[in-house]
């Protein structure tokens, strides 16, 4: 019989500690019925009843707790459009591909201009006149 009393006492203490942590870490908008300080005092002075009262009436139920086993079909979360990760967004992927293509074209154009300029420099050094069709357009 004494072991059962010790076990119930430990359960009561653990429940009170969990309720205190939950109460103290809850956002201001999640606390219902009473101010936070009142809930803390109730949990401290009446550990078993205060803890149970906090979990039943003192805090807003989390969205996952409201859904239950089957999931809530009428919840506002299901009605909101979900944000899409950038790697799943076709518009974002298209813009990345277009930007990469533009950068590749610009890089290719610079290489061609540089190659033409070097060829012209080599021709001048060798005494040949630069070819007219190969001049870079400025």
Q: Which of these, 114, 110, 113, 90, lies nearest to 102 by C-alpha position?
A: 110
The pTM of the full predicted model, rounded to 2 decimals, is 0.45
d(CA 56, CA 35): 15
> Tens place of pLDDT for every residue, the chain, 138 residues?
788 889 989 999 999 999 999 999 988 888 888 889 999 999 999 999 999 999 998 887 665 555 554 555 555 555 666 677 777 788 888 999 999 999 999 999 999 999 999 999 998 888 776 666 655 554
| Two tokens, residue 59 | 């805090």
**Cross-strand pairs, 59:** 31
d(CA 113, CA 134): 9
Q: Is the dihedral of CA 5, 6, 10, 16 positive or negative?
A: positive
């Amino acid at each position: 019989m004494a072991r059962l009393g010790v076990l119930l006492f430990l359960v009561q203490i653990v429940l009170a500690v969990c309720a205190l942590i939950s109460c103290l870490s809850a956002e201001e908008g999640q606390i219902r019925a009473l101010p936070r300080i009142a809930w803390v005092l109730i949990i401290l002075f009446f550990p078993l009843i205060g803890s149970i009262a906090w979990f039943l009436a003192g805090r807003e139920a989390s969205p996952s707790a409201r859904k239950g086993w089957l999931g809530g079909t009428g919840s506002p979360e299901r009605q909101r459009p979900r944000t899409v990760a950038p790697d799943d967004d076709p518009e974002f992927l298209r813009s990345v591909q277009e930007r990469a293509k533009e950068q590749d074209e610009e890089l290719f154009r610079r290489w061609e201009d540089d190659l033409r300029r070097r060829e012209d420099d080599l021709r001048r050094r060798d005494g040949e006149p630069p070819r007219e069709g190969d001049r870079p357009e400025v």
